[in-house]
Amino acid sequence: MSGAAIEIVRAKGKNAEGEEEAPVVVGRAVYEHPFVVRLCHWINTVALFVMVGSGLQIFRAFPSFGAKIPQKDLLHWPRAFAIGGWLGGALQWHLTFMWIYIATGLFYLGYQVFSGNYRQVLFTHRDIPGVWPMVKHYFFFGPKPPVQEAYNPLQKQAYTTAIGLGVLSVVTGLAVWKPVQFSWLAWMMGGFHYARIWHFAVMWAILFFVLGHLVMVVLHGWGNFVSMVTGWKKDPEY
């Protein structure tokens, strides 16, 4: 039932003079986010937090890429921003939440495909002409393009990329986790060492998306955030 719209009406009542007032339409609300999407979104947010934190703790055990000896550390990630305490603990967190992350991702993708709701999120060639007007509006003070869909073309592009990155994080992770069983995967990525680099790079790309995502959520205000909790968005705006 995504796309349903209702009018928000101030109920009939009495004014300051005690006279009867007719009901007034004070706004409009659109049901934009189905329950499954909201559920998966928030579970994924928690799972991703743990995956990144524990992943960085695992990385701390060997903070370099390539040959083990001689080892040159790439960066010293602070312990305070890592989860698990040590390599063994971090692996437990990572491999436990991995299942939650994968299950949520599959459930979300399955739901989107079978419900047809993917049309709201998937960036296609039809969205290309709408990208530049949105970029002009967001970054160069251009006029605001009229609201036509739940997500504007730039949003669709960002979400489709984020979902693609989610899939890549799992595929590269499988190659790093089971390089013998999934040797063909590791081979496709240029070998185990490259699979590690891909996995690491995909994490930073996801974090980059999340940063931009949070900036947009803050800029678009409370109603936008509430819509990802209740499903309903009041007076949708880009």
CB of residue 151 to ligand HEM, shortest distance in Å? 6
The b-or-e profile of 179-192 (16+ CB within 10 A means b, else e) is beebeebbeebeee
Nearest residue to ligand HEM, by Cβ distance, number only: 228
Nearer to ligand HEM, 183 or 230 (CB): 230
Q: By CB under 6 A, is residue 2 in contact with ligand HEM? A: no
Q: Does 47 bind ligand HEM (CB under 6 A)?
A: no
- Rounded CA-CA distance 57/4 in Å is 45
Residue 38: CB minimum distance to ligand HEM, A:
9
- Give min distance, CB of 220 to ligand HEM, in A: 7
Within positions 144 to 183, which residues make up the interface with ligand HEM, using CB under 6 A?
151, 159, 162-163
Question: Which one of 65, 86, 132, 225 is in contact with ligand HEM (CB under 6 A)?
Answer: 225
As a whole number of angstroms, the distance between CA 32 and CA 14 comes to 34
What is d(CA 232, CA 147) in angstroms, rounded to the nearest whole number?
16
Under DSSP, is residue 20 helix (H, G, I), strand (E, B) or coil?
strand
Q: Which x/- pattern over 51-90 shows residues binding ligand HEM (rule: CB under 6 A)? A: ----------------------------------------
Is the Cα torsion angle 38, 51, 98, 184 positive or negative in sign?
Answer: positive
Which residues is 10 bridged to in the sheet?
A: 24
> What is the rounded end-to-end Cα distance, in angstroms, of the chain?
21
Residue list 104-143, contact with ligand HEM (CB under 6 A): 120-121
Nearest Cα residue to 153 out of 183, 129, 177? 129
Q: How many CA atoms lie within 13 A of 95 on its CB side?
A: 11
List residues binding ligand HEM (CB under 6 A): 32-33, 37, 41, 44-45, 48, 120-121, 151, 159, 162-163, 206, 209-210, 213-214, 217, 224-225, 227-228, 233
